[in-house]
Structure 1
Amino acid sequence: MSGQRPVVALTGASGYIGGNLMKKMEGYAEVIALSRNGERRDNKKHVTWRSCDLYSLSDAEKGLQGADIAVYLVHSMMPSAKLTQGSFEDMDVILADNFAKAAKKQGVKQIIYLSGIIPKHSPQLSRHLKSRLEVERILKSYQVPVTTIRAGLIVGPKGSSFPILAKLVKRLPFMLLPKWTRTKTQPVALEDVLGALSQSVGNEELENQTVDIGGPEVMTYQTMMTKLADVMGTRPKMIHFPFLTIHLSRLWVRLVSGAPKEMVYPLIESLVHPMVVQEENTVKPISYGSVRFEEAAKNALIQEEQSRKKGGSKPSILTSIQEDVRSVQRVPIPEGKNVDWVAKHYVKWLEDVLNPWIKTTVDQKLSCQIGFVYSNTPLLELTYSYERSNTDRSLYYITGGWLTDTEKNVRGRLEFRKIPHKNQAIVAIHDYMPSLPWFFYKYTQAKAHLIIMALFRKHLEKMMNYSSEKEVGSDVASIKNA
């Protein structure tokens, strides 16, 4: 690649925003396009495709090799395996942490992150916005300069929020308007979002800056739906109905739009917050989009119709049909302990809690076997990786056992990792291929794992509470003796 053009690694290059941004960057940068199925894409001038699963730290390191700048457009709302257990917030932690660690190791000079507008005076953020903010903090944890572009509702032919809104307006002859429809928002055209991201590439003035972007109009969601109805040529009757709660709204929006609940629920929960550009986070001219809502909506609908006529198919949620498992849970780290301790303690605790049926053995290399007391064949065999582990991350490869399909289980692993700036850890199983018949596995072993992890979390919480009570007792004794 030419040294005169910046080398930009682009995550989500096969997605809605990433694909459009890639076309824009081809004119001035060498693009490393990252996708889980990059090997199926053809390289072209100024674009090199790489396969990259960001749930794997080693994949992230390979994906960012040679990059000067890295653009992070990842969000984990949708399932990433045939069976995905865990919240999107915890999935996002893993993805962001791997990306930021890899960026530091590969000498990336700037990370550009597309986030959501964070309201200033909201005592309780929605799960979606909390996750966006947590990802932002994680990306900033490894000394790589981060430019955060925060946008509200993006008006484009695909994506999440706008297509759902368009389906509601198109399919409903009358609409009961909940209280959140009076919340103010500042929609922004896809064209303006792409411009903001593009102008951030290599812009040293924006290093470690947070920039809000929005369109030229501030409006309520009700006004936005009215304007969209005018563009679409429909006249739905709108009736205020403040008794329709967020929980009920999630249900009817999912029912009418046909969008999956993994996408609808977090988005609807965020609509109670005003998504308006904040003056202290503005940078001219990046923050101020020029495309008005009606124009952006009309362009989006035309592009969507053109795509439909060309036979554009709906992208599959999953990229493979293999029977793989991802299970992710968050647990506390007791005071004075680290992730390495949590990992070793988990193995010992597992034997204690399942006694007398289960035994665990750990060898001098820290690899372990988990199995029934009266059987020589282990249920699971975990091989500890010294090369990929440290005090903040412990990695075990799932290398055998009666519950593992050893022929298909190529990348199965169990990892424990610390969440930056928090006394919490993520415990995750990735790419695990069970040997049990899928239906039987899903309703037995998979359920058992969730129960075990819930018990382990409560166990660690009790340890933390005991330590706190002990400290309080010690303080009281000191006061009495004084």
Structure 2
Amino acid sequence: METKKKNRPVVALTGTSGYIGSHLLDKLKERFDIIALSRSGDKRENTEHVTWQSCDLFSQIDTEKGLHGADIAVYLVHSIRPSAKLTQARFEDMDVILADNFAQAAKKNGVKQIVYLSGIIPPEEKLSRHLRSRLEVEKILGSYGVPVTTVRAGLIVGPKGSSFPIAEKLVKRLPVMILPSWTRTKTPPIALAVVLTALQKSVGNHDVASKAIDVGGPEVMTYQEMLKHIAHVTGKKFRSFHIPFPTVRLSRLWVKLISGIPKETVYPLIESLSHPMVAQPSHYVEVYSDGKISFEEAARAALEEEQQNKGPKHSKNTKLPSLPSRQDVRSVQRMPLPDFKDADWAAKHYMSWLSESLWPFVRTEVDENHNCKIYLTFMKKSILILSYAKERSTSRCALYYITGGLFANVKETQNGRIEFRQIPGKEEMIVAIHEYLPSLPWIVYKYTQAPIHMLVMFLYRIHLKRLIRNKQPNSRITLEKGSP
């Protein structure tokens, strides 16, 4: 985006097509020029202070282009839902890739501040997957030197949030509410308007650079109390009974069935409810942390907005253009790294391990430029051709493009790729396949090649764990760091 000699700073805003992002966009454009990033951004019309841009944050190149020219970047991204026709991945591992791409792109483009919306993190060592991922993302965003302001919010009360719509549906659809022990844990629910204000005040504010700020409403209440308030606002009678033991795993199932919300969204959220997510004094910042809107007031506003959005005219005007469906695959696995080894070593080691460990079924050929061809031993033609992207690879991230082979449909996409990426601050890496289009018929691929790939990744993880356990750096298929 060109600023055209204006003094207005430029903000790159992710998640702009989402509920929170779209509301924040309206607030920020009053003071900033906005690069509105969305996977379908090119289909949106630009306005005086808003330039829309398509951006796939799973792509390092796309992310770098998206943050070009930005002074500040706002990160409202969470990969809690599948991102391809077939997604073989845990959300926390996909979040690592997104955050790492964003942090590196921010550093490369000279971004002065990252503002990140997270959840309140309780001072406990054993966190749920969802909370552990939120904290991991926060650390990754700050790992390349760009100051990060983290707004950690309690349960956000809005019609299109995550937790509040689940609670609302339970109250409306259940004649009697079963209340397991986790419904008595506490959290400070917070109105969407208060969260937006905290985010807006954080953008460009040097006083909160490199700070984590807990924000919540004026009341700290249990989930049971929230359900009662929602019943009161909606005019429903609240009938309930307690069961005196934690049933988080069972609760995930019945909450999914009753709410109708996908398990990818429900399961991580329910798992987090056993933690008392109360604002911590060490993360208190005056003006930011003290929300003044009561829960009932926020809930009433959210339900009224939901009713307004059900109108056919409103729905027609706000419907976003959809992306064309593709039979693409994203597969992401987290692996341990042996001591003093990096992602580039792991990538080259993997190519050698394939042929040695899967013999006599698989063989590989690797040339002097680290390009790799993978064969089934009874076939003359390769099933996959992996071209090493030297210009995009470092010791911490090795990238290969999928450029051919009998199992790859390279006529429809040139973006299929596999990467080995080290997680900042950890002796772990992510092995990921992105935008892979199989050439096999989809039903055949799904029940043959896809599960075989998962099995191979499982075996490679076991192999790495064995190397670490046995501490045998000179084993016959272990390569020296950086060797082909």
Q: TM-score range by the shorter chain?
A: over 0.9
Work out whether residues 82 and 318 of structure 1, in 8 Å CA contact, stay in contact via their aligned partners in 2. no
**Aligned equivalent of 2:165:** 163
Match of 1:253 among 232, 250, 255: 255
**Equivalent residue in structure 1 for 2:121, among 115, 118, 121:** 118
Q: What is the SS of the residue equivalent to 2:310?
A: helix
> 2:81 matched to 1:78?
yes
The CA distance in 2 between the partners of 1:37 and 1:318, in whole Å, is 7
The code of the aligned residue for 2:213 comes to V
Residue in 2 aligned with 1:465? 469
CA distance in 2, matches of 1:152, 1:177: 21
Name 1:321's counterpart in structure 2. Answer: 325
Measured in 1, the distance between the counterparts of 2:240 and 2:315 equals 33
Within-5 A mapping of 1:5-16: 5-16=8-19
1:328 and 1:429 in contact (8 A); partners too:
yes
Provide, for residues 99-141 of structure 1, a one-character-per-residue CA deviation record: whole Å limited to 9, x for no partner. Answer: 0000000000000000110011x23100000000000000010
The number of aligned residues is 469
Cα contact 1:172–1:236 (8 A) shared by 2: no
TM-score (norm 1): 0.95
Give the distance between the partners of 1:340 and 1:317, measured in 2 at CA: 39
SS at match of 2:177: strand
1:20-419 alignment, distance < 5 Å: 20-120=23-123, 122-243=124-245, 245-310=247-312, 312=315, 319-419=323-423
Verify: 1:426 aligned to 2:430, yes or no.
Answer: yes
Per-residue CA distance 1:394-452 (angstroms, 9 max, x = gap): 00000000001121132100000100000001000000000000011011100000000
**What one-letter code is carried by the residue in structure 2 that aligns with 1:250?**
R
Name whichever of 29-38 and 275-284 sits farther off: 275-284
1:223, CA displacement in angstroms?
A: 0.7
SS in 2 for 1:4: coil
- Under a length normalisation based on structure 2, what TM-score does the superposition of the two structures give? 0.95
Deviations 1:177-214 (A, max 9, x none): 00011101100000000000000011001010010000
Which one-letter code corresponds to 2:421 in the other structure? R
273-282 or 422-431, which deviates more = 273-282
CA-to-partner distance for each residue in 1:39-80, whole Å, 9 max, x for gaps?
A: 111111100001000000000000000000000000000000
Per-residue deviation at 1:469? 12
The one-letter code sitting in structure 1 at the alignment partner of 2:376 is F
Q: Following TM superposition, by how much is the alpha carbon of 1:279 offset from its aligned partner in structure 2, in angstroms?
A: 1.4
- Structure 2 counterpart of 1:173, one-letter code: P
Task: Measure, in 2, the Cα distance between the counterparts of 1:355 and 1:468.
Answer: 22
TM-aligned CA deviation for residue 242 of structure 1: 2.4
Separation in 1, partners of 2:382, 2:424: 34
- Letter of the 1:254 counterpart: K
The runs of 4+ residues in structure 1 deviating greater than 3 Å are 313-320
Q: What secondary structure, in the 3-state scheme, does the structure 1 residue paired with 2:335 have?
A: strand
The root-mean-square deviation of aligned C-alpha atoms, in Å, is 1.6
1:448 aligns with 2:452: yes
- Deviation of 1:34 after TM superposition, in Å, equals 0.3
1:413 is aligned with what amino acid? Answer: R
Q: What is the CA–CA distance in structure 2 between the aligned matches of 1:372 and 1:150, rounded to whole Å?
A: 50
Q: Please report how far the alpha carbon of residue 357 of structure 1 lies from its aligned counterpart in structure 2 after TM superposition.
A: 2.3
Cross-structure match for 1:475: none
SS of residue matched to 1:269:
helix
The 1:268–1:306 alpha-carbon spacing in structure 2 relative to 1, beyond 3 Å, is: same
State the 1:241 CA deviation.
1.3
Distance 2:174 2:84 in 1: 34
Deviation track 1:368-405 (CA, whole Å, cap 9, x = no partner) reads 10012243210000000010001000000000000011
Whole-Å separation in 1 of the counterparts to 2:87 and 2:320: 15
Distance in 1, Cα, partners of 2:125 & 2:13: 34
Q: What amino acid is the match of 2:19?
A: Y
* 3-state SS of paired residue (2:65): helix
Residue type of the alignment partner of 2:416: G
How far apart, CA to CA, are the structure 2 residues paired with 1:216 and 1:320?
44
SS in 1 for 2:114: strand
Alpha-carbon deviation of 1:315?
A: 7.6
| Counterpart residue number, 1:435 | 439
CA distance in structure 1 between the partners assigned to 2:419 and 2:133 by the alignment: 21
Q: Render the CA deviation track for 1:159-190: whole Å, top value 9, x for unaligned.
A: 21111110001111110100011101100000
Counterpart CA distance in 1 for 2:214 and 2:70 is 26
The amino acid across from 2:284 in the alignment is: T
Say whether the 8 Å CA contact 1:388–1:395 is kept in structure 2. Answer: yes
User: Partners of 2:6 and 2:466 in 1: how far apart?
Assistant: 56
Distance (whole Å) between structure 1 residues aligned to residue 7 and residue 288 of structure 2: 25
Q: Structure 1: 5+ residue runs without aligned partners?
A: 471-482
The residue type paired with residue 160 of structure 1 is: S
Deviation of 1:152 after TM superposition, in Å, equals 1.4
Closer, same or farther: CA 45–469 of 1 in aligned 2, 3 Å? closer
Partner SS, residue 293 of structure 2: coil
